[in-house]
């Protein structure tokens, strides 16, 4: 992808960045911005589909419900730890 040079400009109490039309980002697109040192990563916000999220949760609950349940708790034989001088 080609590199573009642009200038930050004042917008209210913040600064804004004009993105080239070639990026195909339409007005009103929600974005996330992350900063790591002097690197800014800008990407479109991925909005989760609530219907799909509920379906995935329902599938997870069904899968967990189908798992075999443990039986009664098994008692262990008593164990004596040996003496370890210096510890």
3-state secondary structure 32-46: EEEEECCEEEEEECC
Which residue range(s) make up the domain with 58?
30-64
Judge whether 52 lies within some domain.
yes
Judge whether 77 lies within some domain.
no
Domain count, the chain: 1
Q: What is the pLDDT of residue 62?
A: 94
Q: What is the pLDDT of residue 71?
A: 82
Give the chain's radius of gyration (CA, Å).
28
Judge whether 45 lies within some domain.
yes
Q: What is the pLDDT of residue 2?
A: 77
Q: What is the pLDDT of residue 1?
A: 64
Judge whether 36 lies within some domain.
yes
Question: What is the mean pLDDT for each group of 10 consecutive residues in the chain (87 residues)?
Answer: 84 90 88 93 85 91 89 85 84
Judge whether 13 lies within some domain.
no
> pTM of whole model > 0.85?
no
């Amino acid at each position: 992808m080609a590199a573009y040079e642009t200038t930050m400009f004042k917008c209210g109490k913040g600064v804004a960045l004009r993105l080239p039309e070639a990026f195909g980002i339409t007005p009103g697109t929600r974005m996330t911005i992350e900063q790591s040192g002097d690197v800014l990563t800008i990407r479109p916000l991925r909005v989760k589909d609530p219907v799909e999220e509920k379906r995935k949760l329902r599938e997870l609950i069904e899968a967990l419900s189908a798992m075999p349940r443990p039986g009664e708790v098994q008692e262990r034989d008593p164990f004596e730890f040996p003496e370890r001088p210096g510890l």
